[in-house]
């Protein structure tokens, strides 16, 4: 009789263990996922992305940012690709995603993949692979992409308001990243994605005029750089909608220049400069500014972690036939 509760406990323990194993398996990604079902998948993606970047230099930064925005909202489930419908405003139309664009590249990839291996490669995996490819095409490091994500069926514009903003302090950024299971190192490393691309004036002009009660210009900025940005963003009501500035002086090359700029007080976004001005992250910025190889190595690790966020398991996802609509 005395053995009965113990047997019960062991039995329940084994059941829980079994459930955990099954769940972990379902969520596990694999670098060989399409090895048999669509061996040409990565080659097709690479070709389409390569062609697109040759025609449009904005494709690389936009796709890298798309991956971040996809994974940070509902996990890496391609929810960022779904179009709005009559009764739902999708992530795409949320304020931070208005400037994403380049969705046509993913559409083109998906169309080719549907011809080659119908209903096999998820849109979420396409974004993850394309993001890796734009990094390589821009001169950055290679990593094996883990695959097997499923596409989600829900996409809500208001959830994009949870994405980090350029006005956020380092503490706020650390908090948001930590809520996703990403540490300070991941924050500093992934922010290195800003080695590519461009920011519109609206993303940084609050630093340039009436910054706070004491300073007109953000005092952490190099003053000559700040005055140059001020000129770029003058005449708010008359200026071109595309007015802004490059996030890095070598904005089409994936390198460690971004970190060197932060050390020099020439970060464009307040959220970038904040990483250098916080003792918890400063040494990482300095290390990456000195050692590009270190940045490259850590970037691959953090991108794999980013790609694991909220990965959709088999029961809640699907393989979309068209990345813009649920099946
Ligand atoms: C740490 C928090 C982050 C904040 C607050 C942030 C914010 C921003 C903002 C405000 C812009 C400019 C948008 C515009 O004005 O059009 C931007 C651009 C960009 N972001 Fe981030 N970002 C963050 C992290 C990341 C991460 C983790 C990546 C990728 C790994 C990334 C990749 C990019 C890229 C490539 C661009 C340039 C886009 C283009 O040229 O179209 N960002 N980001």
Question: pLDDT tens, position by position, for the chain (327 residues)?
Answer: 445 566 666 656 555 454 444 444 445 899 999 999 999 999 999 999 999 999 999 999 999 999 999 999 999 999 999 999 999 999 999 999 999 999 999 999 999 999 999 999 999 999 999 999 999 999 999 999 999 999 999 999 999 999 999 999 999 999 999 999 999 999 999 999 999 999 999 999 999 999 999 999 999 999 999 999 999 999 888 888 899 999 999 999 999 999 999 999 999 999 999 999 999 999 999 999 999 999 999 999 999 999 999 886 666 799 999 999 999
pLDDT, residue 6, reads: 63
Segments making up each domain of the chain, as ranges:
41-162, 170-306
Q: Do domains 41-162 and 170-306 have the same CATH topology?
A: no
The pick from 53, 65, 187 for probing ligand 1's pocket by mutation, whose C-beta has the most ligand atoms within 8 angstroms, reads 65
- Which residue CA neighbors atom 41 of ligand 1 most closely? 62
- Which residue CA neighbors atom 32 of ligand 1 most closely? 65
99 CA → ligand 1 middle, Å: 10
Say if domain 170-306 classifies as CATH 1.10.420.10. yes
167 CA → ligand 1 middle, Å: 12
Catalytic residue list contains 316: no
pLDDT, residue 22, reads: 40
Q: Tell me the fold of 41-162.
A: Peroxidase; domain 1 (1.10.520)
Tell me, using a 6 A CB cutoff, whether residue 199 lines ligand 1: yes
- Which residue CA neighbors atom 37 of ligand 1 most closely? 197
Tell me, using a 6 A CB cutoff, whether residue 190 lines ligand 1: yes
SS3 sequence of the chain: CCHHHHHHHHHHHHHHHHHHHHHHHHHCCECCCCCCCCCCHHHHHHHHHHHHHHHCCCHHHHHHHHHHHHHHCCCCCCHHHCCCECCECCHHHCHHHCCCCCHHHHHHHHHHHHHHCCCCCCHHHHHHHHHHHHHHHCCCCCCCCCECCCECCCCCHHHHHHCCCCCCCHHHHHHHHHHCCCCHHHHHHHHHHHHCCEEEHHHCHHHCCCCCCCCCCCCCCCHHHHHHHHHHCCCCCCCCCCCEEECCCCCCCCCCHHHHHHHCCCCCCHHHHHHHCCHHHHHHHHHHHHCHHHHHHHHHHHHHHHCCCCCCCCCCCECCCECCECC
- Which residue CA neighbors atom 35 of ligand 1 most closely? 61
pLDDT, residue 48, reads: 98
Of 55, 69, 316, 325, the active-site residue reads: 69
């Amino acid at each position: 009789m005395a053995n009965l509760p113990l047997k019960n406990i062991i039995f329940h323990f084994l059941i829980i263990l079994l459930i955990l194993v099954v769940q972990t398996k379902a969520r596990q990604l694999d670098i060989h996922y399409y090895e048999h079902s669509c061996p040409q998948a990565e080659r097709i993606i690479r070709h389409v992305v390569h062609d697109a970047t040759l025609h449009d230099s904005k494709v690389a930064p936009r796709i890298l940012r798309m991956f971040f925005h996809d994974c940070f909202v509902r996990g890496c489930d391609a929810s960022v690709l779904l179009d709005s419908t009559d009764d739902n405003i999708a992530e795409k139309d949320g304020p931070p995603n208005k400037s994403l664009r380049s969705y046509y590249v993913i559409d083109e990839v998906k169309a080719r993949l549907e011809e080659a291996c119908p209903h096999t490669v998820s849109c979420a995996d396409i974004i993850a692979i394309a993001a890796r490819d734009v990094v390589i095409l821009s001169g950055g490091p290679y990593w094996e992409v883990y695959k097997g994500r499923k596409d989600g069926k829900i996409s809500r514009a208001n959830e994009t308001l949870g994405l980090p903003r350029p006005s956020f302090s380092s503490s706020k950024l650390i908090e948001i990243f930590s809520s996703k299971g990403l540490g300070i190192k991941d924050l500093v490393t992934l922010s290195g994605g800003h080695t590519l691309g461009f920011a519109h004036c609206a993303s940084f002009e609050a630093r340039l005029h009436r910054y706070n009660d004491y300073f007109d210009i953000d005092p952490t900025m190099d003053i000559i750089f700040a005055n140059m940005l001020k000129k770029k963003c003058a005449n708010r009501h008359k200026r071109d909608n595309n007015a802004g500035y490059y996030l890095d002086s070598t904005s089409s090359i994936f390198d460690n220049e971004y970190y060197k700029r932060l050390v020099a007080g020439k970060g464009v976004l307040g959220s970038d400069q904040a990483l250098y001005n916080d003792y918890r992250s400063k040494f990482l910025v300095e290390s990456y500014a000195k050692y590009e190889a270190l940045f490259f190595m850590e970037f691959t690790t953090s991108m794999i972690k980013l790609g694991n966020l909220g990965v959709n398991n088999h029961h809640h996802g699907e393989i979309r036939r068209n990345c813009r609509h649920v099946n």
